[in-house]
Amino acid sequence: MASRTCMNESCGTSTSIQWRKGWALRSGEFADLCDECGSAYEQSTFCDMFHSKDSGWRECTLCGKRLHCGCISSQSLIELLDTGGVNCRSCAKNSGLQPMAIYERPDGSDTSKAEHVNKLQTMPLDSQLDGGSIERLKPLQLRFSKEGNGASRMLQMHNDDKNGSFVQMKQEEVFPSMGELGCTFLSTFNQASNGSSKAAKPDNGKAYMGSTETYESLEQTNLSMTLGPPLGNSDPFRCAVVDERVQSKTSPVLQGPRSRHLFPKPPRSTIPTGLEINAGMVSQIRVARPPAEGRGRNQLLPRYWPRITDQELQQISGDSNSTIVPLFEKMLSASDAGRIGRLVLPKACAEAYFPPISQPEGLPLRIQDVKGKEWVFQFRFWPNNNSRMYVLEGVTPCIQSMQLQAGDTVTFSRMDPEGKLIMGFRKASNSAAVQDTNPSAAPNGCHSSETIFPGVYENLPILSGYSGLLQSLKGNADSHLNALSKQWNSAGGDINWHIENPQARTMDGMLLPPSMVPEKKRARNIGSKSKRLLIDSQDALELKLTWEEAQDLLRPPPTVKPSIVMIEDHVFEEYEEPPIFGKRSIFVIRSTGVQEQWAQCDSCSKWRRLPVDILLPPKWTCMENSWDQSRCSCSGPDELSPRELDNLLRLNKEFKKRRMATSRKPTVEHESSGLDALADAAILGDNVGDSSTTSVATTTKHPRHRPGCSCIVCIQPPSGKGKHKPTCTCNVCMTVKRRFKTLMMRKKKRQSEREAEIARRNQQSRGPRDETEVDSTSTHVALQPDASENDNRVSNELDAKSQSNVAATNKGHLDLNCHPEREADMQAGSNRVSMISLLKEASLSLDTYLKENGLTSLTSEQQLYSASNVQAQATDESEGQHNDDYCPLSGAQDQESESEEDNGPDKNQNDTL
């Protein structure tokens, strides 16, 4: 029967280990308290449970496979059995057991170490819960193994806080000496188990508030672990030498997940994937989460996670039998490396791994460098914004001794069992040099441990991994990411750290050319900033895609009538409830010009043809296909040939790929290339009419006017009131007229060619289905096909164009940049924004649209002008739309440039258009 002893020495109550509500993940009721005095127990049940005398090994009860506590703790490889023991995941799977989280025992029964395991049940969640237990059902941190001790401390500390029993800790009283701290996590645990070590009480209540965050992140850890193999950021205890030595056979170097709950999750999608992908290449890298034994905030930022290589470990540990526990690292800032001699310590790190200090004066700290030289720094803090700012003072000699500069990284490790603090370093400048010269450097920017050092070291694996992930997931050569990766690489590693003289470095702001000056300045924070930007940009891409797709899936709330509101002369439908997501559907335009909507049955997955104006609910099955009696059940024949379906999917893929690609193009290109691309597509005619496509281009490429923007909108007369009259002969209007004329003539010509082509193909007995065009889709399946593709495709250009126009018109109303005063020129009532009307209008033919807009002909100059004027107005009212309207014009540039070359004033505009 395991027991715990109350930390309160005056109490000393020993109690058997029980399952307590305190283990609940989110309950916030950390009741792991002594029943007598309410103090926290000195150790964690979890540690005890899984880090027991048998070294944490368990045997699968079915196959006998031995599973280490890491597997247990990770929970990714085992299932804990109600009857005791564990099953490896494969056996568990075969036996039909479902993976599940481990839950607290609501009965509070006494549980020994083994019993704990036994009582961790592997039962389907549903079957295990009764109504009353649901409330108490809380995931437990079974992944606690070595680090569980730290977690338990945090639990206890949290307890302290919550119970107001916080006692300002005096180092000599409660905080273990560095020697005591200086043990492997395992030994730390053992000490704790034996009660020989006083778990640190918080010296700062605030410092322990991370507990709940810890637990919250646990669940995420669960997820990530379930989803994938061990993640990139290894458990420090495992990745440190001690683990390698002890568990070299069983423990992959990079095992991250078990300690993830103690530290912030890495940037989403970056670290895991990066290191998975590059696992082989970085196998020797120790990207270690720091030990969780610290008493401080557990939320160490990943940038402080110690990254250490075998070489460095070897260098630090030398030939001794000591083990090195990487604690944290910090890239030196200019201030750190400056002559002030103050090294700002990350607060969390200082509180976690350095002795607690209650007075600002702090205490002297002996730290040994890798050469064995011992330094004494003053470890102290400054009050700062109701917080503390920890610094190591007197580091200048050490910094200089190591010849460190801003951008270099100092690492703090602990040598066990002595507990000696070790200060290592990595030179930032190494990274560039080694990286550049080392042929073994991974082509994607990931490097072996020997080649990765601060700067690039910190980021490249992440970036490359992310890039790799994207590439693997999206099948997309991600030049943008690569570029970012390079940029980041240079930012992290190549920043001008090569100025050896610190003085000179401080002066380079004056000495360096302007282009270089910001680089130095940037260097200070560009790392994290760029990383953030990078990730954000990636997220943004993802989000944007999602958003764009969502736009087309949004439906008005079905049962709610909108209230019409007028905002700056624009009418909006305002719904009391948020829009709903409708079902994805695909619009198809046949060669005959007939539009179709296709949707996939949620039950049988067959594609069914639907009227174009139908809005489907999120769930839709053949049963609801009231438009086709022969296919109103799933047994109805499939209407869509595999070929066409493949075509749809393929085009969808291509579209997304293309969209991703266009999204990553530098903004500089957006103005021109985006317009040109749209223009080309418009002239080519096929699918530009697709509203979704145009919407993509619009929102992606030109959401807002920018200074220097030379688009058709921006070159309009200023103030926005200079509405062009039909008689206007300004450059813009003339250009518009000319281009539109050219455009339409060309389109006419192409249309006639295509009609001829259709006729020819029909004669060749080609199936009409094959001629269908995936032209418009609510799910962005419609594409901007390549020109070559377009030429071979058959479509109804007019319909496409009509959609374009309609979409342009409609979107013009939606765009908040639209100019109210131009609205008068819009068709009356057309400014009514309605999702349904949008869809309906999208199905209108061009002729209908033109009639409605009084544009029965576009062939005459005047009519041409009218059309262009309308479009110009639409454009004026919608910055985000003008691409749609005027890009075609710009696209005609090629053709018309021949006749416009001598049009001086126009030419510039044409170029920019």
Partner DNA sequence: ACACTGCATGTATGG
Partner DNA sequence: CATACATGCAGTGTA
- Measured distance CA(712)–CA(87) in Å, rounded: 68
Question: Smallest Cα–Cα separation from 875: which of 696, 729, 698?
Answer: 698
- Measured distance CA(439)–CA(451) in Å, rounded: 10
Name the residue nearer to DNA (CB basis): 398 or 844: 398
- Contact residues for 638 (Cβ-Cβ < 8 A; gap 6+): 606, 607
Rule CB under 7 A: choose which of 11, 62, 123, 334 binds DNA. 334
Name the residue nearer to DNA (CB basis): 31 or 334: 334
Name the residue nearer to DNA (CB basis): 509 or 617: 509
- Measured distance CA(133)–CA(235) in Å, rounded: 33
| Per-residue buried b or exposed e for 766-781, using 16+ beta carbons within 10 Å of the residue's own CB | eeeeebbbbbbbbbbb
Whole-number minimum distance, CB 264 to DNA, in Å? 4
By the rule CB under 7 A, 341 interacts with DNA: yes
Name the residue nearer to DNA (CB basis): 212 or 438: 212
Instruction: Identify which range of 13-21, 71-79, 121-129, 329-337 contacts DNA by CB under 7 A.
Output: 329-337
β-sheet bridge partners, residue 383: 388
Instruction: Identify which range of 380-388, 471-479, 560-568, 797-805 contacts DNA by CB under 7 A.
Output: 380-388
Supply the DSSP symbol for 261.
G
Whole-number minimum distance, CB 494 to DNA, in Å? 17
By the rule CB under 7 A, 118 interacts with DNA: no
Q: Among positive and negative, which fits the CA dihedral 592, 597, 600, 606?
A: negative
Residue window 515-534: x/- pattern of binding to DNA, with contact defined by CB under 7 A: ---------xx-xxx-xx--
| Per-residue buried b or exposed e for 563-591, using 16+ beta carbons within 10 Å of the residue's own CB | eeeeeeebbbbeeeeebbebbbbbbbbbb
Rule CB under 7 A: choose which of 4, 119, 143, 342 binds DNA. 342
Q: Among positive and negative, which fits the CA dihedral 276, 281, 287, 288?
A: positive
Whole-number minimum distance, CB 340 to DNA, in Å? 5
Rule CB under 7 A: choose which of 346, 674, 685, 812 binds DNA. 346
Whole-number minimum distance, CB 382 to DNA, in Å? 4
Question: Smallest Cα–Cα separation from 733: which of 595, 875, 853, 600?
Answer: 875
Instruction: Identify which range of 383-391, 650-658, 661-669, 699-707 contacts DNA by CB under 7 A.
Output: 383-391
By the rule CB under 7 A, 897 interacts with DNA: no
By the rule CB under 7 A, 318 interacts with DNA: no
- Measured distance CA(140)–CA(831) in Å, rounded: 56
Instruction: Identify which range of 57-65, 66-74, 382-390, 538-546 contacts DNA by CB under 7 A.
Output: 382-390
Whole-number minimum distance, CB 32 to DNA, in Å? 23
Residue window 186-215: x/- pattern of binding to DNA, with contact defined by CB under 7 A: --------------------x------x--
Rule CB under 7 A: choose which of 387, 605, 792, 859 binds DNA. 387
By the rule CB under 7 A, 344 interacts with DNA: yes
- Measured distance CA(60)–CA(124) in Å, rounded: 19
Q: Give backbone dihedrals phi and psi of 307, rounded to 5 degrees, phi first.
A: -115, 125
* Number of Cβ within a 10 Å radius of residue 57: 15
Six token digits for residue 655: 């579209």
Instruction: Identify which range of 37-45, 181-189, 333-341, 721-729 contacts DNA by CB under 7 A.
Output: 333-341
By the rule CB under 7 A, 62 interacts with DNA: no
What is the bridge-based pairing of β-strands 363-369 and 420-426? parallel
Binding positions for DNA, 231-290, rule CB under 7 A: 264
- Measured distance CA(854)–CA(852) in Å, rounded: 5
By the rule CB under 7 A, 836 interacts with DNA: no
Name the residue nearer to DNA (CB basis): 357 or 415: 357
Whole-number minimum distance, CB 300 to DNA, in Å? 8
- Measured distance CA(651)–CA(780) in Å, rounded: 9
Whole-number minimum distance, CB 497 to DNA, in Å? 13
Residues forming the site for DNA (CB under 7 A): 206, 213, 264, 297, 299, 301, 303-304, 330, 333-336, 339-342, 344, 346-349, 360-361, 380, 382-387, 389-390, 393, 406, 524-525, 527-529, 531-532
